[in-house]
């Protein structure tokens, strides 16, 4: 006898399994309409490859797998595709999802099946492809694509293949009856799986509350080397992690997969589906479903086509809608309620439970947690559910994670034993969802932080490039000035000058500066400043006339503006000097003062261009001297009139600046004269 | 007809908080009967009056907190507090003493913290300690047990409670008091000089302790609590008593059996230490929690100022419970043990 291990916690809820075991598996027949959700498995939804109106045969692919972790969907009977649209599906959310709707033609006509006579002679990759193409996804509940699970990495060999015939959830007998009636098929499936992954042992785990199944499986397994392991009944021993611990004594690492410890676990139903796919060439289009609960007259197991509406199966079993208040897909511990009886069954549907109100009464209002610890005793994951509840309630998600919230398998054992009837599992689900949301938000904000930093870096880089271009332009201008100076007052060689100009222009263009727009900008500045000066002067005059107390302030404004104007004019002048452009458009008829000013400035520039550097220097010096004299006079005036201090200071600084400029101009002139 | 939408699990076990509380009440019965047999009707009157007050204060608090009365009164938690305090108080306590104790327990220790499940301290023990510190004379006046003095009747008991001025009761030092005061007699002589020492833990006390032990074992059998905290408390107390027994000299701390069967040891171990709300939660946590209570009980009994110590020990460890929880998380499935293996 093989040693079996125990796992922590667990509960013994009323089994209620005998009700649906009184009759053998019956065929449910073909409903008028079949609804095939595109996502019946974990992974990417399948993609429809049929069109509305198209006739399909039984077993024909109607939606293809999209990606590695995905499986196709097949037509469960022959008929016509009547819609590809969103339908209400069996999902805890109660939402709609894309479905292919097939209206049966009543012929139930198969497409040609291609069985494999001897799978030993077929390449393993080909066998895996067949399993995948048959649309097989874990039939125990999660619906993980079987072929993906069977893809063994060579560096991580599998020691133990476990077939899960535990079926620990109350009410459900689909696997039980499958083991009783199709033990041979299960063993054949197990042999195929074993051939694929080459484990050192194959175990089939069954709880001791299924003696008929155990006997049937033992008979079928004789001489195959497959071992039937029986262990005490306890919920949730059928959970993958728990079953692995029972049979091997090992625990799947948190966040890891069974394959990490050399174990692969498959449901017995999946084994039969694999066997049918290989030996008969039939895709997964039907499964055994337990229809039970006090609201059906004849609880039983039905072999139903995938996509059959629940209502159709319920009618077959004698549904009494008046007695039923909630309809559960799955069992009483982990099943979920459906919003409507017309939702279709899918590949993972093992049970339809229609309990009466007395059978599964509505939960009473929750009382305060008294930390009795019964939940911790029941928890198969050795968590502290009462602490998790405390943290979930207080939204202390970090602490909840520290207490291993994500190792909760949502088996419901804690809620089952809670004397205060607190819906603990719901708290954990909500907390997990919130934690995931927080993680996603954190990821998002991290992403935007990176983007922001990248943007900052880009801006800095651009700024640096601009600076470099500016420096290049400046250098080019200086070079030009130097060349001009070298050539002295000698008549410029017109050809050489043209070349220089072209070069300078090219350099300016190469460095990205738009010569024309730069010029325009400066001109605009001159014009606006002049306009402002005019308005300010008008205002000043008016104020003087009125004897207003704002005269001083206005005077200051006028002074400042005129200084700015001078600076702008100078800048424009300098620019034009640096970038002489021979093809300045002919001056248009001046129609306003600003235009006239531009004309003047341009005329002056053109006149300048003809002058020697010495002359230019002398002229600008004269201008500066004139301005200095004017400013000095203004300062004297101001001092005499006893004007405000700040005005005096402003005037003084103007005089100072002009003096410096005059000195610089004198130096320049001297230099020009000596050349 | 619309179908109900609720999340799993849909099945629910039979356990209910109110049932747990009823079981606790039931389990006190043997102890109460024995106490009544040895000390008269005082304890029963205590419990009766405390029960009325507890429900009244609970209702008042719920009303002030705008909570549904029926729903919360139906959990029997106030009654449990009342019965535990009623047992802990000396028989023939005056009505006002009990009232102050219950008010402290229900209003101060329980509802100020948010009601059932949110109280960091055991309410009955808070009530007890408030009284012990405020009214030391009344709190240390125990009636003589049957066999060591005359027992008052029921009328006397009621009179003692509600007309305390007209009641002239007789009191006698408890075995723990005597042990504490003893500094010259050998244990054997001490036992012989005082009839109230009884056989092991004090006349009346030893049988009451055994009755509380029986009630506690029944609760254990009913899976109302686990064995960890009570057993570890009793084991530590035994160990300490054995270490300091010193062969029964005049400086002896008393035999292990004496400590187990005297005072509030058994009552505390099975009815106070097991209070889930204020204790540590994990298995390892409860072992540590119980052990430290056992240690404190012994230290306070022998080296402290009070003859008995369960209330103080429990309150001190209530304070430490969250800290213990922090460091005694069980190893979750799939997580490495310390040292790395799984």
Residue B211: domain span: 173-326
- Which of A36-45, A547-556, B45-54, B136-145 is predicted least confidently? A547-556
CB within 8 Å: A333 and B10: yes
Are the Cβ atoms of B334 and A252 closer than 8 angstroms? yes
For strands A79-88 and A201-207, give the pairing: unpaired
Band (pLDDT 50/70/90 cuts) for residue A582 is low
For residues B247 and B141, membership in a common domain is answered with no
All residues of chain B having their beta carbon less than 8 Å from the beta carbon of residue A410 are 8
Q: What count of CB pairs under 8 Å joins A to B?
A: 167
Task: Give start and end residues of each alpha helix (H) in A488-612.
Answer: 494-510, 515-546, 551-578, 593-610
pLDDT band, very low/low/confident/very high, at A577 (cuts 50, 70, 90): confident
pLDDT at residue A494 greater than cutoff 70: no
Residue among B4, B7, B116 whose CB faces A370 most closely: B116
Which of A339, A373, A376 shows the shortest C-beta gap to B5? Answer: A339
Domain boundary among B172, B193, B213: B172
Q: Does B4 touch chain A (CB under 8 A)?
A: yes
> Which residues does chain B have within 8 Å of residue A341's beta carbon, measured at their own beta carbons?
3
Inside any domain, residue B212? yes
Structure confidence at residue A643 as a pLDDT band (50, 70, 90): confident
How many CB atoms sit inside 10 A of residue A157's CB?
A: 13
Range of A40-54, A597-611, B20-34 with top mean pLDDT? B20-34
Question: How many Cβ atoms from other residues are within 10 Å of residue A376's Cβ?
Answer: 24
B 219-238 residues with CB < 8 A to A: 223-226
Give the model confidence (pLDDT) of A336-352 as tens digits.
999 889 999 999 999 99
Q: Are B218 and B291 in the same domain?
A: yes
Say if B10 falls within a structural domain.
no
Per-residue pLDDT, averaged over A606-631, amounts to 79
pLDDT of the residue at B267: 95
Chosen for mutation from B2, B5, B11 (greatest number of chain A CBs closer than 10 Å) is B11
Check pLDDT > 80 for residue A508: no
Same domain? For B194 and B301 the reply is yes
Look at A251 and B276 and tell me if their CB atoms are within 8 Å.
no
- Residue-level pLDDT at B53: 96
Same domain, B135 and B282: no
**Least confident segment among A77-81, A309-313, A600-604, B274-278:** A600-604
Q: Which two tokens stand for residue B113?
A: 């913290």
- End-to-end alpha carbon distance in chain A: 115
The reply to whether B244 falls in a domain is yes
How many angstroms separate the CA of residue A427 from the nearest CA in chain B? 11
Residues ≥6 apart with Cβ < 8 Å to A551: A540, A543, A544
Q: Is A675 annotated as a binding residue?
A: no
Three-state SS at A371: coil
Chain B interface disruption, residue of A311, A327, A364, A374, most B CBs within 10 A: A374
Percent of chain A at pLDDT > 90 equals 56
Same domain, B187 and B305: yes
A338, A367, A386, A387: best mutation site toward chain B, by most B Cβ within 10 Å?
A367
The segment with the largest mean pLDDT, out of A38-47, A151-160, A538-547, is: A38-47
Q: A336 and B277: CB-CB below 8 Å?
A: no
- Residue B114, Ramachandran bin (φ over 0: left; ψ between -120 and 50: alpha; else beta): left
Answer yes or no: is A411 a known binding residue: yes
A381: nearest CB among B15, B115, B332:
B332
Q: Enter the tokens of residue A634.
A: 């203004």
Find the helix or strand (DSSP H, E) in which A15 lies.
Answer: none
Residues A407, B333: C-beta atoms closer than 8 Å: yes
CB B276 within 8 A of CB B293: no
Q: Give the mean model confidence (pLDDT) for residues A271-298.
A: 94
Report the residue of chain B nearest A322, measured CA to CA: B1
Asked if B335 and A254 come within 8 Å (Cβ–Cβ), the reply is: yes
In chain B, pLDDT over 90 holds for what percent of residues? Answer: 57
Give yes or no for residue A515 having a pLDDT over 70. Answer: no
Give CA–CA dist B121/B320, Å, rounded.
10
Strands (E), A187-325: 201-207, 227-231, 263-267, 286-292, 300-305
Six-digit token string for A140:
């125990």
Q: How far is CA B89 from CA A436, B50, B204, B312, B315, in A?
A: 53, 10, 15, 15, 17
**Measured on CA atoms in the order A377, A379, A383, A387, is the torsion positive or negative?**
negative
- B128–chain A Cβ distance below 8 A for any pair: no
Helical ranges in A344-412 per DSSP H: 374-378, 385-393, 397-402
ipTM over 0.85: yes
CB contact under 8 A, A326 and B115: no
Identify the helix (H) or strand (E) that includes residue A464: helix A424-487
Q: What is the rounded average pLDDT of the residues B189-196?
A: 77
Q: Is A113 annotated among the ligand-binding residues?
A: no
Whether B167 and B178 share a structural domain? no
Q: B72 and B157 share a domain?
A: yes
Residue B202 vs residue A224, higher pLDDT = A224
Of the candidates B258, B34, B254, the residue with the CA atom closest to the CA atom of residue B145? B34
Please spell the DSSP secondary structure of A154-172, one letter per residue: TTS---EEEEE----STT-
Q: Which residue of B has its CA nearest to A92?
A: B7
- Those of residues 398-417 in A touching chain B at CB distance below 8 A are 403-404, 407, 410, 412, 415-417
**Chain A interface includes B8 (CB < 8 A):** yes
Q: Please answer yes or no on whether A370 and B19 come within 8 Å at the CB atom.
A: no
Contact yes or no for B116 and A365 at CB 8 A = no
pLDDT in tens, B17-73: 999 999 999 999 999 999 999 998 999 999 999 999 999 999 999 999 999 988 899
Torsion from C-alpha of A320, A324, A329, A331, nearest 10 degrees? -110
What is the 8-class DSSP label of residue A201? E
Dist. CA A476–CA A198, nearest whole Å: 78
Which residue has 């309630």 as its token pair? A393
Could you tell me if residue B332 is inside a domain? Answer: no
Residues B167 and B189 in one domain: no
Tokens of residue B106, six digits: 């229900």
Domain membership of residue B1 (yes or no) is no
Give chain B's mean pLDDT: 89
pLDDT band at B341; cut points 50, 70, 90: very low
Asked whether the beta carbons of residue B8 and residue A368 sit closer than 8 angstroms, the reply is no
Angle between helices A174-181 and A183-197 (to 10 degrees): 100
Contact (CB<8Å) A250/B115? no
In whole angstroms, give the CA distance from residue B189 to residue B253. 14
Is A160:A249 a contact under the CB 8 Å cutoff?
no
Within an 8 Å CB–CB cutoff, is residue B341 touching chain A?
A: no
- Cβ atoms of residues A196 and A300 within 8 Å: no
> What is the residue-wise DSSP string for B186-209?
-HHHHHHH-GGGTTTT-TTHHHHH
Q: What is the pLDDT of residue A488?
A: 65
Whole-number Å distance between alpha carbons of A505 and B251: 111
**Interfacial A residues in 256-285 facing B (CB < 8 Å):** 256
A560-569, B69-78, B286-295: which range is least confident on average? A560-569
Domain count, chain B: 2
Burial category of A583 from C-beta neighbours within 10 Å (exposed 0-12, middle 13-18, buried 19 and up):
exposed
Question: Does B333 contact A373 at a Cβ distance shorter than 8 Å?
Answer: no
Q: Chain centroid to CA A196: how far?
A: 36
A587 — pLDDT class (breaks 50, 70, 90)? very low
Exposed (0-12), middle (13-18) or buried (19+): which is A105, by Cβ within 10 Å?
middle
Q: Judge: A170–B11 Cβ closer than 8 Å, yes or no.
A: yes
Residues B86 and B221 in one domain: no
Q: Could you tell me which chain A residue has the CA closest to the CA of B15? A: A419
Overall average pLDDT of the A168-182 stretch? 94
Which of B226, B279, B334 comes nearest A254 by C-beta? B334
Instruction: Give residue A490's pLDDT.
Output: 55
Nearest to A44 by CA among A68, A63, A73: A68
A319 interface with B at CB cutoff 8 Å: no
- Percent of chain A, pLDDT > 70? 93
Does one domain contain both B45 and B136? yes
d(CA A313, CA A258): 35
State whether B11 and A371 contact (CB < 8 Å).
Answer: no
pLDDT value at residue A603 = 79
CB count in 10 Å sphere of residue A472? 16
pLDDT for A470 equals 92
pLDDT at res. A590: 46
Whether residues A370 and B332 touch (CB distance < 8 A) is answered with: no
On whether the CB atoms of residues B24 and B276 are closer than 8 A, the answer is no
Q: What is the mean pLDDT of residues A248-276?
A: 92
A372 marked as binding residue: yes
Residue B28 and residue B204: Cα distance in Å, rounded?
A: 16
Pair (B108, B201) in one structural domain: no
Return mean pLDDT, chain A. 87
Q: Which residues of B touch A372 (CB under 8 A)?
A: 20, 224-225, 276
Q: Could B1 and A321 be called an inter-chain contact, meaning their C-beta atoms sit closer than 8 Å? A: yes
Give me the percent of chain B exceeding a pLDDT of 70: 98
Q: Is B15 on the interface with A (CB under 8 A)?
A: yes
Q: Which of residues 237-276 of B touch A (CB under 8 A)?
A: 276
Our CA-based measurement puts residue A366 at a distance from the nearest CA of chain B, in whole angstroms, of: 10
- What integer pLDDT is reported at residue A512 of this predicted model? 54
Nearest Cα residue in chain A from B18: A419
Which residue is listed with tokens 């004594």?
A: A249
Question: Which residue in A11, A251, A387 is closest to B333 by CB distance?
Answer: A251
For B115, nearest residue in chain A (alpha carbons) = A368
Cβ within 8 Å of B, A 146-185? 170
Q: Which residue has the higher pLDDT, A562 or A173?
A: A173
- Please identify which residue in the block is written with the tokens 């002056």: A604
B207 and B144 share one domain: no
Phi, psi of A160 (to 5 degrees): -130, 125
pLDDT in tens, A67-87: 888 999 999 999 999 999 999
Is residue B264 in some structural domain?
A: yes
- Domain-located, residue B336: no
Asked if the structure places residue B4 within a domain, the reply is: no
Predicted pLDDT of residue B342: 39
Residues from chain B that touch A92, judged by Cβ atoms under 8 A, are 7
**A7 touches B: beta carbon within 8 Å:** yes
The verdict on a CB contact (< 8 Å) between A377 and B16 is: no
């Amino acid at each position: 006898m093989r040693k079996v291990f125990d796992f922590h916690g667990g509960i013994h809820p009323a089994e209620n399994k005998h009700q649906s075991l009184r009759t053998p598996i019956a065929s449910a027949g073909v409903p008028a309409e079949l609804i095939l959700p595109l996502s019946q498995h974990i992974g990417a939804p399948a993609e429809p490859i049929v069109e509305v109106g198209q006739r399909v045969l039984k077993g024909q692919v109607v939606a293809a797998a999209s990606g590695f972790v995905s499986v196709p969907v097949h037509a469960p009977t022959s008929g016509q595709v009547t819609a590809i649209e969103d339908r209400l599906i069996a999902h805890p959310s109660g939402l709609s999802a894309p479905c292919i709707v097939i209206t049966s033609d009543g012929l139930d006509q198969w497409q040609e099946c291609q069985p494999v006579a001897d799978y030993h002679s077929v390449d393993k990759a080909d066998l895996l492809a067949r399993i995948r193409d048959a649309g097989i996804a874990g039939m125990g509940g999660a619906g993980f694509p079987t072929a993906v699970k069977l893809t063994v990495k060579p560096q991580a060999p599998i020691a133990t293949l476990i077939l899960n015939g535990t079926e620990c959830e109350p009410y459900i007998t689909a696997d039980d009856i499958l083991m009783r009636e199709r033990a041979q098929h299960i063993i054949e499936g197990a042999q195929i799986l074993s051939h694929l992954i080459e484990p050192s042992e194959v175990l089939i785990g069954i709880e001791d509350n299924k003696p008929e199944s155990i006997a049937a499986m033992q008979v079928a397994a004789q001489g195959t080397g497959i071992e039937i392991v029986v262990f005490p009944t306890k919920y949730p021993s059928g959970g993958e992690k728990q079953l692995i611990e029972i049979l091997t004594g090992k625990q799947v690492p948190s966040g890891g997969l069974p394959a990490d410890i050399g174990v692969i676990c498959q449901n017995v139903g999946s084994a039969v589906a694999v066997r049918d796919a290989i030996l008969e060439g039939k895709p997964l289009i039907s499964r055994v479903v337990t229809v039970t609960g006090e609201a059906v007259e004849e609880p039983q197991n039905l072999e139903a086509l995938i996509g059959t509406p629940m209502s159709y199966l319920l009618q077959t079993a004698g549904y009494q809608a008046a007695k039923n208040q909630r309809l559960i897909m799955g069992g009483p511990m982990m099943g979920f309620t459906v919003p409507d009886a017309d939702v279709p069954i899918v590949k993972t549907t093992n049970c339809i439970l229609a309990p009466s109100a007395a059978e599964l009464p509505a939960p009473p209002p929750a009382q305060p947690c008294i930390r009795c610890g019964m939940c911790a005793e029941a928890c198969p994951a050795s968590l502290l559910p009462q602490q998790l509840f405390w943290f979930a309630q207080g939204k202390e998600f970090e602490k909840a994670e520290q207490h291993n919230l994500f190792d909760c398998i949502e088996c419901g054992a804690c809620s089952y034993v809670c004397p205060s009837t607190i819906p603990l599992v719901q708290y954990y689900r909500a907390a997990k969802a919130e934690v995931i949301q927080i993680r996603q938000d954190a990821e998002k904000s991290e992403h935007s932080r990176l983007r922001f930093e990248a943007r900052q870096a880009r801006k800095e880089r651009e700024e640096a490039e601009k600076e470099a271009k500016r420096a290049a332009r400046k250098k080019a201008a200086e070079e030009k000035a130097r060349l001009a100076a070298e050539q002295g007052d000698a008549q410029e060689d017109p050809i050489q000058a043209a070349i220089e100009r072209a070069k300078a222009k090219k350099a300016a263009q190469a460095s990205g500066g738009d010569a024309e727009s730069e010029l325009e900008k400066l001109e605009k500045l001159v014009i606006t400043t002049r306009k402002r000066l005019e308005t300010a002067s008008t205002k000043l005059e008016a104020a003087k006339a009125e004897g207003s107390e704002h005269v001083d302030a206005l005077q200051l404004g006028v002074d400042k503006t005129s200084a700015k104007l001078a600076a702008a004019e100078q800048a424009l002048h300098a620019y034009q000097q640096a970038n002489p452009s021979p093809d300045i458009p002919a001056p248009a008829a001046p129609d306003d003062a600003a235009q006239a000013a531009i004309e003047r400035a341009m005329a002056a520039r053109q006149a300048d261009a003809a002058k020697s550097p010495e002359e230019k220097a002398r002229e600008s010096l004269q201008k500066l001297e004139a301005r200095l004299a004017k400013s000095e006079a203004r300062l004297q005036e101001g001092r005499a009139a006893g004007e405000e201090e700040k005005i005096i200071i402003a005037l003084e600084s103007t005089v100072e600046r002009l003096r410096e400029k005059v000195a610089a101009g004198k130096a320049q002139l001297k230099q020009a004269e000596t050349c | 007809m619309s179908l109900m939408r609720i999340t799993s699990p849909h099945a629910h076990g039979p356990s209910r908080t109110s049932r747990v509380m009823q079981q606790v009440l039931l389990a006190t019965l043997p102890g109460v009967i024995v106490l009544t047999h040895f000390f008269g009707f005082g304890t029963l009157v205590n419990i009766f009056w405390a029960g009325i007050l507890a429900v009244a204060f609970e209702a008042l608090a719920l009303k002030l907190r705008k909570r549904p009365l029926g729903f919360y009164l139906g959990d029997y938690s106030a009654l449990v507090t009342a019965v535990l305090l009623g047992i802990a108080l000396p028989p023939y306590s005056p009505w006002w003493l009990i009232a102050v104790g219950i008010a402290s327990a229900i209003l101060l220790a329980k509802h100020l913290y948010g009601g059932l499940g949110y109280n960091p301290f055991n309410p009955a023990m808070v009530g007890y300690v408030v009284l012990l510190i405020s009214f030391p004379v009344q709190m240390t006046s125990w009636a003589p047990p049957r066999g060591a003095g005359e027992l008052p009747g029921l009328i006397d008991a009621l009179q003692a409670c509600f007309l305390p001025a007209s009641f002239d009761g007789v009191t006698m030092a408890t075995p723990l008091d005597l042990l504490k005061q003893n500094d010259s007699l050998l244990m054997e002589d001490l036992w012989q000089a005082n009839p109230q020492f009884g056989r092991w833990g004090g006349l009346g006390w030893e049988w009451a302790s055994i009755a509380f032990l029986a009630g506690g074992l029944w609760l254990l059998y009913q899976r109302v609590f686990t064995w960890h905290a009570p057993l570890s408390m009793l084991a530590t107390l035994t160990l300490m008593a054995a270490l300091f027994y010193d062969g029964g000299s005049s400086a002896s701390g008393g035999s292990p059996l004496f400590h187990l069967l005297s005072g509030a040891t058994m009552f505390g171990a099975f009815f106070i230490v097991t209070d889930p709300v204020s204790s540590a939660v994990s298995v390892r946590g409860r072992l540590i929690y119980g052990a430290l209570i056992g240690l404190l009980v012994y230290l306070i009994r022998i080296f402290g100022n009070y003859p008995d110590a369960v209330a103080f020990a429990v309150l001190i460890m209530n304070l430490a419970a969250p800290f213990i929880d922090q460091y005694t998380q069980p190893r979750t499935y799939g997580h490495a043990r310390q040292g790395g293996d799984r």
